[in-house]
A and B are shown apart, each in its own frame.
Chain A
């Protein structure tokens, strides 16, 4: 079955540490996205990539970094510069980079930083 795999499901880190969240897709989708979800806030776009070796900042990119070295993979690093990193992080992909292409989401990673 094709899909998006995010790991781990739960992640705990100490303040000041960088942490990398994994996202892998086997759907052969061109575009990949990272969203952050906080209670009552909906989904906010962190970064997205429409093609390998290229990515763009979303609405809340500060304190985050990404890479897209392979079509299947789009890891997100939450750096120590992110002031409020505790959140639910969702990775998604779309078949094409067009905005009318539906998003397919992974199961998410819940990050807790203390």
Chain B
């Protein structure tokens, strides 16, 4: 079945440093979604990418979808303590349901 790998599993940065999490799929994806889960909370949808090579920005967050539609990344510029949480990617191929990566836990020290 479809597998979605996400790295790193965990990252601890100082406030102001940049952060990137990477997502790789074993199959070509029709779309990829990104979610954020704050500690003790539930996942919240951030964005969806559907086109090959697509790049989308949300303030300090930049999302990319690879040319082959098998990988994606989320980059946060100048992290803030409010960025703390676990970031998940989730991909789908064709009519399959979404498969989630295991997530990257981000800790930001002030």
Q: Does B1 contact A (CB under 8 A)?
A: yes
When A and B form their complex, what is the total count of cross-chain residue pairs whose Cβ atoms lie within 8 Å? 53
Q: How far is the CA of A102 from the CA of B35 in the complex (A)?
A: 10
**Contact indicator B33/A102 (Cβ below 8 Å):** yes
Number of interface residues of A (CB under 8 A): 21
Q: A40-B102, A42-B103, A43-B100 are in contact. Are A100 and B42 (CB under 8 A)?
A: no
**A 42-66 to B, binary, CB cutoff 8 A, 1 in contact else 0:** 1111001000000000110000000
Q: Is there an interface contact between A105 and B42, defined as CB atoms closer than 8 Å? A: yes
Residue positions of A touching B, CB distance < 8 A: 33, 35, 40-45, 48, 58-59, 90, 99-100, 102-108
Q: Chain B interface (Cβ within 8 Å of chain A)?
A: 1, 6, 9, 30-31, 33, 35, 41-45, 48, 50, 88, 90, 92, 94-98, 100-103
